[in-house]
């Protein structure tokens, strides 16, 4: 039976921090322990627990990395400005520790812009080589290193406004570039990100307690950007100016011809750098479906652009395509105020609709009949009624008058004048 390591293991987030503090990739750490990179990814994400001899070796390695990190001098802060200087012997020991932890130089270079369209660019696998700091952050919204979290201190130190502004300032620029790759429209990308953060501010208690607030906002921004209702907007019926570079235009056209689900999976995995489980969870699909979508998307891109058959080259091209555009997001207070205005508008609209509904119901109840009135039946023919009485025979005087009128018949108005007898 496999037993857990005797040496205590740090939390998953601390494992990743120790590895990154030592400038080690997952592949390098996996080679030291004797496992695969995916196994190390699962250990750092907390999906699995190291056990057996590999777990003991992994725990010892993390403890050794933690001991080296303790030797590294912290950055000077204003609070430490008044403390006495470090002794020369301690400074020499720390410099020696930093020299031991210095990573080996790498030959990896970012493909130059002048090489576009001249053939495939050979770039090593990104899982075995550390990504240069500052380049990958163009498309990702996750920090390079994370510090141990202290939820109680964070909640006590930040107000909701400050926490929202910090999240917006950190995620909004990257999200605008990501949504631009999804839609190909600059204004729509900005509106989608702002709308996602407005919804996040309206549901801030829920978002603040989420395990991944950045992922929550990213999923909402993608949903807003890929909404099919945008096609009915008048200004979205006309295309925006394409990128100036011919290769960038070809890449953007290829991305826009992919189905939305394939495009989203490709951007999340090859652009943002999420793992397959995270990509599948964010796209609401199974891992097998995410793998199939990613494979079909890569095949479609490589069919039109053979230079991008290498996933690492595709990643750098996506970075360059997003970084060449001037995509800016609004200020956090502007987004918060717009969210509050929208919430007030819909609240008042709901109240007005409710009042109108109540008034209509009251008017209906006031004017409705209070008792049953039977309908008037249609008329029927009545039988057995005697016919009306006709005039009887003329008298002697009436007959004389009739004879006189016939004898003295005149025309014109004179016949109406009375004549003496």
What global pTM score does this model have? 0.52
pLDDT score at 351:
96
Measured in residues, the chain has a length of 421
- The candidate with the shortest Cα–Cα distance to 248, out of 298, 319, 306, is 319
Q: May I ask the CATH architecture of the domain 1-71?
A: Orthogonal Bundle (1.10)
Two structure tokens written together for 121: 């660019």
Question: For residue 172, how many C-alpha atoms fall within 13 Å in the half-sphere facing its CB?
Answer: 23
Q: Kindly list the domain boundaries of the chain, sorted by start residue.
A: 1-71, 136-144+158-333
Taking each helix axis from N to C terminus, what angle separates 160-183 and 186-202, rounded to the nearest 10 degrees? 150
- Digitized pLDDT (tens) for each residue of the chain, 421 residues in all: 444 445 678 888 888 888 888 878 888 888 888 888 888 888 888 878 888 888 888 888 888 877 765 544 444 433 343 333 444 444 444 444 444 444 444 444 444 433 433 333 333 344 443 433 333 334 554 443 444 444 444 445 688 889 999 999 888 888 898 898 889 888 889 899 999 999 999 999 999 888 889 989 999 999 999 888 888 888 777 778 888 888 888 998 999 999 999 999 999 998 888 888 889 988 888 999 999 999 999 999 999 999 888 888 888 888 888 887 777 778 888 998 999 999 999 999 999 999 999 999 999 999 988 888 888 888 888 888 887 777 778 889 988 888 888 887 666 666 666 666 6
Q: How far apart are CA 33 and CA 129, in angstroms?
A: 17
| Structure tokens, 45 | 């994400």
Q: Which two tokens stand for residue 338?
A: 């717009």
Distance CA 322, CA 171 (A): 15
Within 10 Å of residue 322's Cβ, how many Cβ atoms?
Answer: 22
> Rounded to whole angstroms, how far apart are CA atoms 139 and 141?
7
Which residue in 169, 108, 117, 165 sits closest to 135, CA to CA?
108
The token duo for 192 is 């989608």
From the number of C-beta atoms within 10 Å of its C-beta (0-12, 13-18, 19+), residue 411 rates as exposed
Nearby residues of 97 by Cβ (< 8 Å), 6 or more positions away: 68, 71, 72
Q: 405, exposed or middle or buried, with CB in 10 Å at 0-12, 13-18, 19+?
A: exposed
8 A C-beta contact, residue 250 and residue 279: no
């Amino acid at each position: 039976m496999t037993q857990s390591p005797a040496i205590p293991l740090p939390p998953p987030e601390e494992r990743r921090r120790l590895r990154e503090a030592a400038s080690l990739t997952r592949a390098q750490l996996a080679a030291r322990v004797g496992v695969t990179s995916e196994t190390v990814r699962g250990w750092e994400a907390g999906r699995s627990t190291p056990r057996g001899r590999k777990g003991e070796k992994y725990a010892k390695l993390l403890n050794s990395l933690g001991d080296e990190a303790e030797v590294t001098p912290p950055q000077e802060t204003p609070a430490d400005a008044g403390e006495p200087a470090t002794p020369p012997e301690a400074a020499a020991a720390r410099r020696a520790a930093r020299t031991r932890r210095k990573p080996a130089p790498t030959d990896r270079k970012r493909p130059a812009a002048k090489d576009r369209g001249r053939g495939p660019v050979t770039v090593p696998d990104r899982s075995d080589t550390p990504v240069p700091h500052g380049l990958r952050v163009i498309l990702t919204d996750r920090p390079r290193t994370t510090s141990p979290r202290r939820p109680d201190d964070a909640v006590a130190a930040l107000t909701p406004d400050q926490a929202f502004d910090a999240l917006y300032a950190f995620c909004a620029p990257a999200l605008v570039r990501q949504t631009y790759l999804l839609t190909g429209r600059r204004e729509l990308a900005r509106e989608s990100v702002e709308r996602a953060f407005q919804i996040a501010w309206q549901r801030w208690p829920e978002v603040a307690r989420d395990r991944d607030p950045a992922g929550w906002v990213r999923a909402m921004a993608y949903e807003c950007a890929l909404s099919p209702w945008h096609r009915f907007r008048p200004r979205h019926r006309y295309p925006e100016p394409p990128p100036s570079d011919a290769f960038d235009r070809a890449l953007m056209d290829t991305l826009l011809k992919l189905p939305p689900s394939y495009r989203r999976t490709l951007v999340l995995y090859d652009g943002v750098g999420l793992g397959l489980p995270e990509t599948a969870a964010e796209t609401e699909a199974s891992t097998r479906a995410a793998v199939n979508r990613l494979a079909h998307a890569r095949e479609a891109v490589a069919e039109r652009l053979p230079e991008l058959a290498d996933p690492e080259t595709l990643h750098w091209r996506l970075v360059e395509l997003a970084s060449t555009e001037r995509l800016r997001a609004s200020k956090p207070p502007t987004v918060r105020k717009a969210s509050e205005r929208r919430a007030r508008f819909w609240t008042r609209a709901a109240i007005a609709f409710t009042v109108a509904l109540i008034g209509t119901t009251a008017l209906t109840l006031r004017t409705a009949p209070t008792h049953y009135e039977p309908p008037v039946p249609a008329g029927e023919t009545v039988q057995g009624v005697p016919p009306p009485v006709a005039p009887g025979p003329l008298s002697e005087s009436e007959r004389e008058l009739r004879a006189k009128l016939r004898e003295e018949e005149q025309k014109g108005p004179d016949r109406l004048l009375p004549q003496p007898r």
